Amino acid sequence: MASLKIKTWPYPEGQEAELVWFGSPHTDYRGNWRLRVAFRATTGELKVISYPWGLLPYLRLGQIYTDGVVDQVRPLTGSAYKFTIGGMDQGAVETGFTLPKRLIDFHKNPELGLQKVIQYRSAGLTYCIPVTELVRALFINSRYLSYYMLQPHGLEMLIDRSEFQNNTLFLDLSTRVPAKLANETNARHLSWIHMDPGIRSMWDSVYRRLFRQAVKLFPQNPTAAFRKGVPLEVDLPPVGQLELHGRGVQFINHVLVKEIIAISGFRHPVGDIVFWHPSKKRHESIYGDKKVRLSAKSRNDDYVINDQSENAKEDTNQDVLEAPPTYMRFTNYPVVTTRRERIRHTHTGDEVLITTGRGGKNTGMQEVSVQDSVVGGDTPPIDFQTLETIPYSDAVGLEAFFEMIQIMKRTFPYSIRMSVLRVPPGKRFSTCPNGSRRTCAIVQVSNGSLLFYVMEVARPDDWSISTLILQPTSQTTIKTVEQVIKQLLDGLVQKSGHWDQNVLNQCKGVDIQKLKHYQSDTTLDWAFRLAGKFII
């Protein structure tokens, strides 16, 4: 069975700790969403750690950890409960501090005790469900849904088309949905959130309430409240009657629900769904040798979560860690069929063993990220001292360039770092047609003893401007390189979007080459042409 290890772990080696509570979602200095998680050691020591928000689908209250790894042998704490509620809107919203201390003790920590809990009365017991657990169970089955939930209009970014024809819903998922998640179960789940008015309102309310609280706390700068953290809240729609199966602990007549395992009673607003995703292809058999690649890679991979990762790589075919599911049973069960437009040919001839390509032996634990995904992934930043960098997500018009850099990283033995800067203001060129500030990617390429810097200006409007390749001399410092980059960008803006040859001639300590863009180039062609500039 695969194991999942959290890289940042606050306790000594061999010390057991239980995941006891969730704190507030908050953003780090890069603007990435994170979640505070509370652990209690067997010694009683309570520690609150910040992890990427995308880790939430894999976290459960009551999990026992040792050295950051969930103990897969010991059962999670709590007993099984089954209860019925008349409707979701019949719950009373309280704070954690209202719970009996014998049920859970927050040690007077306001970060934990002020988190919201929804209380439902059923058969003489009060069932207390943390809002974070309710949101996770209903909506978040992957890191993708977790991050799009905390974006305005995030659901629309996952669905390209949703329309009825002859009482059938035609649902087209976007390329932002990974191929492994583009299945009938997720099509049924996403269409339920998207089409049911009450459930859709509940989904939207998570970010809406978060933003409303941020504005209330810091009217002039809501992002400051995001940095501090805001307790999660949610609107409760008049949906019911529901039957819940969960795991919890009880004190007198109060039950703290640590995990919602299954929910039944929802009605799906659609009877028939035809869904499509770019990865769905129609298989056609043709004669030809079947290529078989042997790999020593184990099926049961062990993963370590890099919780300090800045961004995960955006890739439709990216490996996806499967989160433990919450079983949703609808009173009606929509029939889902897959529409396949593209063709994938399958060879029916003899098997031929090959050794080239991806695959091979896997040693040790694979390091993965649950951060929000962007094109560019986890390419480390350049250690600039004076230049102000921005997240890759703000780099509109550099997506193809990021893709080309990823090809270079996989193809050539270079050490590559990358940062993104804003082009200086002052001219029309400084702003892209959509109103966003134009940006410039700076890539540091180390090829043995040689060092190069690549400057690529964002071109969402297909602006005609060459790529610059800078080669510093052996005596040139990083501070001088930064001054040259600033000098070149200032000259670019003053020249209204063209490299100023006079400025290029004035740059000291670096040799500068230009590389033109060709529309006929594929991304691979582009990568090889650029790599050719790094061979002396």
Question: How is 414-449 classified by DSSP, letter by letter?
Answer: -EEEEEEEEPPSSSGGGB-TTSSBPEEEEEEEEETT
- What pLDDT shows up at residue 357? 45
Q: What is the tens place of the pLDDT at every residue in 205-259?
A: 999 999 899 888 888 888 888 888 999 999 999 987 899 999 999 999 999 999 9
What residues are paired with 281 via a beta bridge? 342
Q: How far is CA 468 from CA 32, 440, 455, 522, in A?
A: 31, 11, 5, 19
Which amino acid makes up residue 312?
A
Which residues have C-beta within 8 Å of that of residue 202, sequence separation ≥ 6? 88, 138, 234, 235, 236, 237
Please state, in angstroms and as integers, the Cα–Cα distance from residue 72 to each residue in 4, 11, 64, following that order: 10, 19, 9
Q: What pLDDT score was predicted for residue 282?
A: 54
Residue 155 confidence (pLDDT) = 85
Tokens found for residue 524: 């691979």
| Stretch (H or E) spanning 118 | strand 116-122
Q: Output the pLDDT for position 296.
A: 47
Tokens read off for 106:
């927050």
DSSP 265-278: EE--S-SEEEEE-T
Residue 231 to residue 34: CA distance in whole angstroms: 12
Q: What is the pTM of this model?
A: 0.66
**Domain boundaries, given as residue ranges, for the chain:** 395-533
pLDDT digits (tens, 9 = 90+) for 21-39: 999 999 887 778 899 999 9
Distance of CA 83 to the CA centre of its chain: 34
pLDDT band per the 50, 70, 90 thresholds, residue 125: very high
Task: Report CA torsion sign: 497, 503, 508, 509.
Answer: positive
Helix, strand, coil share (%) of the chain residues, nearest 5: 25, 35, 40
Q: Give the Cα separation of 525 and 136 in Å (integer).
A: 44
Specify the pLDDT at position 302. 63
Over the stretch 253-312, which tens digit does the pLDDT of each residue have?
999 999 999 999 999 998 898 988 877 765 455 555 555 554 444 444 566 666 665 555
Which residues are registered as beta bridge partners of 292?
353
The HSE-up count of residue 316 (CA atoms within 13 Å, CB side) is: 12
